[in-house]
Structure 1
Amino acid sequence: MLQKFQNHLLQNFQFLSGKKVLLATSGGKDSMVMVHLLQHLEYEIGIAHCNFQLRGMESFEDQRFVKEYAVDHHIPVFITQFDTKAFAEDYKISTQVAARELRYNWFYELLETEKYDYILTAHHADDNLETFLINLSRGTGLEGLIGIPEQNEKVVRPLLAFSQEEMEEYAILHGIQWREDSSNASDKYLRNKIRHHVVPLLKEVNPNFLLSFHKTQGYLQQAQDMVDDAAIIVYQQVAQPDGDTIYFDLKKLKKLPNYKSYLYQWLNEFGFKAWDDIYDLVDSQSGKFVFSSEYRLLKDRDSLLLSPLYLEDRNQEYSIVENQKEVNIPLNLTFCKVMDISIGSNKTIFVDADKLHYPLVLRHWNEGDHFQPFGMDGKSKKISKLFKDEKLSLIEKENTWLLCSNTTIVWVIGLRQDERFKIENKTKNILKIQLE
């Protein structure tokens, strides 16, 4: 297996050559085989061991075993302990998810602090098959059937091409000692049930099942690559990014066969889960929306608008004192006194400075707000009616700010100035306000 493993690294993981690699080592057979292999191939290695404190003294015996091995073989070793159950309870997640979060966060810290290049884990072909069957049993998309990736950023899994039987044969041949995890014998966890009862039957039906499975996953990966390419091409036709917001043209989207599949490909990475609700948005009325933990998908006329959730208090106000030259939050505004005016625009206004009462206030608009649009002498207009006339999306409305003097609106910023602050023949002091 050593020669086969060396050839596998040269063919598929040549980027590891000459790098410092950190080996995630539990003390079990698989991880100890990985350590042994890389030792004998003379890689510059370190060992990282997590004690999750889930199996009482057994967890601490694993920790002692790994530490002693590292010391005896003069390998740098890093050990940490987690109160995994408390972490899981605090964040309302399963113990398995908590352990995964804790260990990978720590691994990435070690990469940075100890100057290692990659983390290597000992996942093998049987682990990959088990993950496939778990995902299949729960219901999954194509990406869930591809299984465990050989590389995920700085995490590398060089043993995925090797079976559990090969690992065990190598360990016995070379007299490698390891620790048995007593929890692996229990059928409490779904993975163990599949490992103990389903996988043996599949191998009994077809002794070369792992090889056949590996080929099938290769075909699935090719299909996923093709799907990804198609999703990118169609995205460029349907989606229009604008700042932090992405606009999906529903007229173009609905002309696509299987448009739901494209929506899934585009939105899956943003953490959405309620797919039926998302698909219903396509034909729903404007104003309907679906949330993920960090994003919102909003139906607005003939578009779906994807935007991040801002933890902003809509009642937040910002004061501007007299003679202040600029504002950087929440918008970039500049203020300067001028002798005359040029042609104004939506982003630049000229006001009679003597009509202003300080401090000026920047705030969001509220229902019922009204102002007197520039050029409409004596006529009032609701801000909501202005938005309707300008055909603003809901997100554009939410992002609109008002510049106010006392309670009077001076400027619906970026849209329209108020008539009452305009420059007149008797104006002595002109203030230019510009949205950068």
Structure 2
Amino acid sequence: MTSVAKRYGTGTARFSRPAPAGDPALRAPVVLMVSGGADSCALLLMAATSSLDVDDGRGCAPIARERLHVLHVNHGLRGIDAEEDAEFVADLAARHGIPCTVRFVDVPALADATPGESFESVARQVRYEEATGLANRLCAEVGCPRSAARILTGHTADDRCETFFMNALKGAGPSGLSSIPRRRNRIVRPLLDRTHDDLCDYLRMHGVVWREDATNADTRYLRNYVRHVVVPAAAERNPRLVEAVATSCDLMADEDSFMTSVAARALRDVCRRADPGARTLDAGRLAAMDVAVARRVVRMALLEVAPGARLEARHIARVLALVTAGEGSFTAPLGVDVSVQYGLLRIRGREGVAVLRGAWLDVPGTLDLGDGRTLTASLVAVSGADDPPGLAHTFASERGASSAMLDAEASCVSPTGGRLWVASPQPGEVLCPLGMHGQSKRLSDLLQDVRVPARDRASVPVVRTGATGPVVWVAGVRADERSRVGPATKTLLVLNLHGA
């Protein structure tokens, strides 16, 4: 959240505060993302010869030349023109004594492999991935923390205005309407208060030329349509349109920051489980929230599962409709599975789908299920003074469903040890659930009765006497009647599911 002091400052102190001695900011790399256009060329020239505020605590100050490094990404979209852009940027960087890295990435091929993503969105993602990787490598070379590095872009007030209208046309919320942020983590946009025309004049004054991308005139692309059609029409009604939109963006950004902090606390309150690639939320409590907060909670949860997902208002509305209905499912961007069952909202990415592979559990021994859970097995000899059924009853009442005490021999385990087969439930599999006096039941029906969502059933460990043997214990759910502890039990088999 942006404080009043940070937003407005006082006097000139915020422009002249020196970095303390030994501050990592004094040696941390500054990566300049330069395409060859006027804005990014102006960024390079200012970084090399003037002062910029890179938000490192010093305000607007010169940047040590040894910290600078230029990055240019050839997206493989414009053939010889793109190659000439790369040569131009490398030459411009060399003239100012700045190292330059040029990367070629086949964006069309990546876009083909990512259905639903445009060339523009894929290219943008590629640029930032390359910049992040370069910044990390440079930090390692100079021995400074990654957080101290800065990645600078040449975004201007015009870009911010265009992005505002682009997001408005898509039906974006406050986050989208706040447009381009001045800073996001290590990414800083020091030219956001300058207009494109201002920067062109600056380059002409210093005798620097720049490259023009011919595709910038193609209004089939949304940004170009906004730039050449929407913004000029709006500017006819308000000649100070860029300044007016910038004010709105700043207001939106401050209020969005506050609402984000509120939603983050709300998400922590309703989150019932957080696994790699998956989140489980209390649907009832989510439904009771103010809709403005609930929308943000859902968005945050989705982005935690799939950080690269391009979410739109309709996706969030779809999730909240499921929450209101109390059941249902759909697939969100990037293949994220969203479902509501039994009062829980489950959000799971492709990598969050649990796959339980069959494996042997040594008795005694431990089996790692590969998803943060483990199964353990041990043997306990029964003495003549013990009451085996009483021991099993007390054990069950104290430990709950995550543990089981069974008859070892009835489970095909000898008093000296053995092994059991653990795998996912099999289609058509039956068992005799403990407490049903020997009546059989389909395993799928049992899992439905205890409200295990269909999507999660494949991750339920089922312990069997062998790969094709009868069920001993459905871990965390129910044991089989045939393994029940009786008065004649000589050895107890103790099974525990940890991390569930």
Structure 2 CA distance for aligned equivalents of residues 373 and 82 of structure 1: 57
Within the candidate set 405, 411, 414, 1:350 is matched to 405
3-state secondary structure, aligned to 2:180: coil
Shift of 1:299: 2.1
Aligned runs of 1:27-426 on 2, under 5 Å?
27-40=36-49, 41-43=62-64, 44-92=67-115, 93-115=117-139, 117-235=149-267, 239-244=270-275, 245-250=279-284, 252-257=285-290, 259=291, 261-269=292-300, 270=302, 271=309, 274-284=315-325, 286=327, 288-292=328-332, 293=334, 295-309=336-350, 310-313=352-355, 316-320=357-361, 323=363, 325-329=365-369, 331-340=373-382, 342=391, 343-345=394-396, 346-357=401-412, 360-366=420-426, 368-384=428-444, 386-387=446-447, 390=450, 392=452, 397=457, 399-406=459-466, 407-426=469-488
**In the TM superposition, what whole-angstrom CA distance separates every residue of 1:86-130 from its partner, at most 9, and x where no partner exists?**
332333432222322222221122112232822111011001111
Seen in structure 2, the aligned counterparts of structure 1 residues 17 and 161 have a Cα distance that, compared at 3 Å, is farther
**In the TM superposition, what whole-angstrom CA distance separates every residue of 1:20-40 from its partner, at most 9, and x where no partner exists?**
201111222111111111112
Structure 2 CA distance for aligned equivalents of residues 234 and 355 of structure 1: 49
State percent identity of aligned pairs: 25
Aligned to 1:3: none
Seen in structure 2, the aligned counterparts of structure 1 residues 371 and 213 have a Cα distance that, compared at 3 Å, is same
| Contact 1:9/1:158 (8 A) holds in 2 | no
Structure 1 CA distance for aligned equivalents of residues 191 and 44 of structure 2: 11
Structure 2 CA distance for aligned equivalents of residues 106 and 16 of structure 1: 21
| Contact 2:364/2:379 (8 A) holds in 1 | no
Structure 2 CA distance for aligned equivalents of residues 383 and 84 of structure 1: 48
Normalising by structure 1, we get a TM-score of: 0.84
**CA RMSD between the two structures:** 3.2
Structure 2 CA distance for aligned equivalents of residues 180 and 146 of structure 1: 28
Seen in structure 2, the aligned counterparts of structure 1 residues 303 and 177 have a Cα distance that, compared at 3 Å, is same
Counterpart check, 1:430 vs 2:492: yes
Structure 1 CA distance for aligned equivalents of residues 192 and 18 of structure 2: 12
Structure 2 CA distance for aligned equivalents of residues 110 and 411 of structure 1: 52
| Contact 2:298/2:319 (8 A) holds in 1 | no
Seen in structure 2, the aligned counterparts of structure 1 residues 420 and 88 have a Cα distance that, compared at 3 Å, is closer
Aligned to 1:4: none
May I ask how many residue pairs the two structures share in their alignment?
Answer: 423
3-state secondary structure, aligned to 2:113: helix
Q: Structure 1 stretches of 5 or more lacking a match?
A: 1-6
Normalising by structure 2, we get a TM-score of: 0.74
